[in-house]
Amino acid sequence: MIQESTVGIIPARYASTRFPGKPLVDIGGKSMIQRVYEQASIALKWVYVATDDERIFKAVVQFGGKAVMTSPDHQSGTDRCTEALDQIEKLENRTFDVVINVQGDEPFIEPELLTTLAGCFHSSVTEIATLVKPLRNKADLFDSNKPKVIFNPNYEAIYFSRSPIPYLRQFPKEEWADNHNYYLHIGLYGYRSDILREITNLKPSTLEIAESLEQLRWLENGYNISVRSVDHDSIGIDTPEDLERVIHSGLPQ
């Protein structure tokens, strides 16, 4: 069963340029990392936090969660997940076929998103999986902080870009969203465990460096990325200002 052989790993760093200590900030009486952990645990049987900071590790243990300490030198959450997977398999004395990389700054993530992502691995050909959502706000099309994605009829990613793709040559830019179904990328990933270990060893690619999008490294090296379209979204908190907006707008139920 996919559920039995899937582990959710939540990478969590204390150091953050825009929001130091973000995993431990209080949101309605619970830390951010606790909220992420609890939401992930609704969808996944096995959940661990992977951190490089003892304060986060202790906080997770105190609320009854599971955590592992990882190196502070990892360049990405993907790399941290790989080290964590090795530790978790030793701790649990078992192997996991699938890893879900759960974003540690999305305290209100819908469990259904994680369930949908894990479900991609019912297909034996799925190597890596991610989620997309239809563009609703036209302004998002030209927001470089919201990557766009195109995929083929088999729901396999063709390309991710910070620019609008495709370029609609026959229409003015203000009409693009009215004349094509654009999709935004939701930054959640699932991996076959063996594939995760492989992609961790890849060097940064030219496309990845150009767009500053890690997933382009995988595409450029020939890996398949399955996508699923969902209507749900999650609230990411990158800065103290983001947190203030969430609190003042009322915490999601």
Query: Domain boundaries in the chain?
Result: 6-233
Q: For residue range 175-194, list pLDDT tens digits in order.
A: 999 999 999 999 899 999 99
d(CA 23, CA 33): 5
Query: For residues 153 and 77, which has the higher predicted lDDT (pLDDT)?
Result: 153
- Return the higher-pLDDT residue of 173 and 251: 173
The pLDDT of residue 28 is 87
Reply yes or no on whether the pLDDT at 244 is more than 90.
Answer: no
Please report the pLDDT score of residue 166 as a whole number: 97
- Residue 211's pLDDT band (cuts 50, 70, 90): very high
pLDDT of residue 1 exceeding 60:
no
Q: Return the CATH class of domain 6-233.
A: alpha beta
* Confidence check: pLDDT of 42 > 70: yes
How many of the other CB atoms lie within 10 Å of CB of 137?
10
Task: Pick the range with the lowest mean pLDDT from 9-18, 83-92, 175-184, 218-227.
Answer: 9-18
pLDDT recorded at residue 73: 83
Cα gap 140→138, rounded to integer Å: 5
Identify the weakest region by mean pLDDT among 49-63, 110-124, 229-243: 229-243
pLDDT of 253 > 60? The answer is: no
Query: Is 237 in contact with 22 (CB distance < 8 Å)?
Result: yes
Residue 21 CA to residue 66 CA, distance in Å, equals 19
Would you say residue 11 has pLDDT above 80?
Answer: yes
Give DSSP secondary structure letters for 64-127: T--EEE--TT-SSHHHHHHHHHHHHHHHHTS--SEEEE--TT-TT--HHHHHHHHHGGGSTT-S
How far, in Å, CA of 25 to CA of 79, rounded? 24
